[in-house]
Amino acid sequence: MISKFVQSLKRTPRGLFNPWFHQDKKNDLVPNAPDIRKKQLETYLEERKDRAKYLFIAEALGYQGGHFTGIAMTSERILLGFQEEKYGVKPEHVFKSEIPNRTSRPDLIEKGMSEPTATIMWGALRDLKIDPYEVVLWNAVPWHPYNPDKGLLSNRTPLAGEMEAGLRHLKSFIRLFNAPKIVAVGRKCEQSLSELGIDYIGVRHPANGGAPKFRRQLAEMTNPG
């Protein structure tokens, strides 16, 4: 089911980068980078399909995160083990049955791309002692919206049509798991889930000064007593 779902993401709206089927010819380390990212996403989802209690849905994939890892809100720096000492986040917190690989060129950033949202998200899971295999990270727009004037190493807010295209996949994504709680990360995602009639818990997006409130809401949600 998971490989079929990932395959369904192949058709990509114009102006978006698809990490699992598009090669970033300027910034990818190897020609088969899309296959690496696809395998990492499938492994990440497979290892959680029978354990997930929460699905965290944010807005869209970013160039410092899933663009090169294939996994939402997850950076190469986490996969490569460079956030273990400071944040206690290990590569095996993401997946265990495959060896993690970077797909960006090392001359771009030696230790791999680092995304603030990914750092806060995974650090909060670790600090609150939440089992990372009970949490699945995803985006309402699963692909990467970039600024065409700035190139693929940029982010932009997804357009309404792009949100709509991504949300067509969301119900299929949710069905991969056994009745998890849906957590909307940010107001824009809350609006989209409301339009779909999906029940959700809303939390503050951790970016742009939202980290303290995000951590507090996460703690209240996972430890209500």
- What tens digit of pLDDT does each residue of 105-162 get? 999 999 999 999 999 999 999 999 999 999 999 999 999 999 999 999 999 999 999 9
Confidence at residue 224, expressed as pLDDT on a 0 to 100 scale: 62
Strand 181-185 relative to strand 144-145, pairing:
unpaired
> How much is the average pLDDT of 53-66?
96
Q: Are 158 and 147 in contact (CB under 8 A)?
A: no
Helix axis angle for 160-174 and 187-196, nearest 10°, is: 70
* CA-wise closest residue to 75 among 35, 42, 111: 111
Domains and CATH numbers, the chain: 2-222 (3.40.470.10)
d(CA 144, CA 15): 9
Q: Write down the pLDDT at residue 85.
A: 87
User: Among 223, 225, 219, 220, which residue's Cα sits nearest to residue 127?
Assistant: 219
CA-to-CA distance for 172 and 182, rounded, in angstroms? 13
3-56 residue pLDDT tens: 999 999 999 999 999 999 999 999 999 999 999 999 999 999 999 999 999 999
Work out the number of other CB atoms within 10 angstroms of the CB of residue 225.
2
For residues 115 and 37, give the distance between their C-alpha atoms in angstroms, rounded to a whole number: 17
Task: Give the pLDDT confidence score for residue 56 in this predicted structure.
Answer: 96
At residue 154, the pLDDT reads: 98
Give the pTM.
0.95
Give the model's pLDDT for residue 225: 56
**Site of tokens 């690989």:** 101
Q: How do residues 181-223 score in pLDDT, each as one tens digit?
A: 999 998 888 888 888 888 999 999 888 788 899 899 988 888 7
What is the 3-class SS of 143-180, one letter each residue? CEECCCCCCCCCCCCCCHHHHHHHHHHHHHHHCCCCCC
